[in-house]
Amino acid sequence: MDTLLLELDTAGAAPSGAAMRAAAGAPALSRASNLASAFCDVAAAREHHPAVATKAGDVSYGWLWRAADGVRRYLCGRPGHAAGARVALQLANSPEYLAAFYGTLLADGVVVPLPVGLERRRRQEIHALCRPDVLISRRQDINSEEQESATATLRLDGAGGEEPSAPPRRQGNDLAMLLFTSGSTGTPKGVMLSHRNLLANADSILHDLPIRAEDRALVIVPFCHALGNSVLQTHVLAGATLLLGGALTFPATIVETLRELAATSFSAVPEVYGMLLKYGRLGEAPLPALRYMAVAGGELRHDLAADVADRIAPAAFHVMYGQSEAAARLASLPPAEFRARRGSIGKPIPGVALAVMDEAGRELPPGEVGMLCARGDNVMLGYWQDPAATAEVMSAAGWLRTGDLAHRDDAGYFYLDGRASLLVKVQGHRVHPAEIEGMVEAGFPHAHAVAVPMARGDETRFVLFLAPRDDHPIDVAKIRAACQQELPSYKLPLRFEVLERLPLTSAQKVDRAALGLRVAGTPVA
Band of pLDDT at residue 19, cut at 50, 70 and 90? very low
Residues near 476 by beta carbon (within 8 Å), at least 6 away in sequence: 466, 496, 498
Residues near 392 by beta carbon (within 8 Å), at least 6 away in sequence: 401
- The one-letter amino acid code at 295 reads V
188 compared with 109, residue with greater pLDDT: 109
Helix, strand, coil tally for the chain in percent (to 5): 30, 25, 40
pLDDT at 184 over 60: no
Among residues 455, 454, 451, 485, the alpha carbon closest in space to that of 465 is found at 451
Tell me the torsion sign for CA atoms 303, 413, 407, 367: positive
* Angstrom distances, CA of residue 505 to CA of 58, 183, 294, 328, 379: 30, 9, 20, 18, 24
Helices (H) and strands (E) in the chain, counts: 15, 26
Residues near 428 by beta carbon (within 8 Å), at least 6 away in sequence: none
Sheet holding 495-498, edge to edge: 446-453, 460-467, 495-498
Same fold, 246-419 and 423-519: no
What is the tens place of the pLDDT at every residue in 89-103? Answer: 999 999 999 999 999
CA dihedral 313, 316, 317, 320 (to 10 degrees): 180
- Are the C-beta atoms of residues 384 and 194 closer than 8 Å to each other? no
pLDDT at 251 over 60: yes
Region of poorest pLDDT, from 44-58, 355-369, 372-386, 432-446? 432-446
Domain spanning 2-43+54-159+172-194, CATH class: alpha beta
pLDDT at 234 over 50: yes
pLDDT of the residue at 391? 95
Q: What is the mean pLDDT of the chain?
A: 88
Name the H helices within 149-237.
Answer: 195-208, 226-237
* Angstrom distances, CA of residue 41 to CA of 28, 50, 103, 176, 352: 9, 15, 14, 18, 26
pLDDT at 26 over 90: no
Domain ranges of the chain: 2-43+54-159+172-194, 246-419, 423-519
What is the tens place of the pLDDT at every residue in 426-472? Answer: 766 778 787 788 777 766 667 888 887 765 555 678 888 988 876 67
d(CA 330, CA 345): 9
pLDDT of the residue at 183? 44
Name the H helices within 280-375.
Answer: 302-312
d(CA 450, CA 432): 10
pLDDT of the residue at 15? 45
3-state SS class at 218: strand
Band of pLDDT at residue 28, cut at 50, 70 and 90? low
Name the H helices within 150-251.
Answer: 195-208, 226-237
pLDDT at 182 over 90: no
- The one-letter amino acid code at 270 reads P
CATH topology of domain 246-419: Rossmann fold (3.40.50)
d(CA 105, CA 35): 7
pLDDT at 16 over 60: no
What is the tens place of the pLDDT at every residue in 148-181? Answer: 889 999 999 876 656 555 678 899 999 999 999 8
Query: Across-strand partners of 461?
Result: 452
d(CA 380, CA 161): 38
β-pairing verdict for 370-376 and 400-408: antiparallel
Q: How many residues does the chain have?
A: 525
What is the tens place of the pLDDT at every residue in 210-233? Answer: 999 999 999 999 999 999 999 999
Residues near 352 by beta carbon (within 8 Å), at least 6 away in sequence: 204, 326, 330, 331, 374, 375, 376, 378
d(CA 208, CA 198): 15
Band of pLDDT at residue 17, cut at 50, 70 and 90? very low
pLDDT at 185 over 50: no
pLDDT at 420 over 60: yes
pLDDT at 39 over 90: yes
What is the tens place of the pLDDT at every residue in 491-510? Answer: 888 888 888 888 887 666 78
CATH topology of domain 423-519: GMP Synthetase; Chain A, domain 3 (3.30.300)
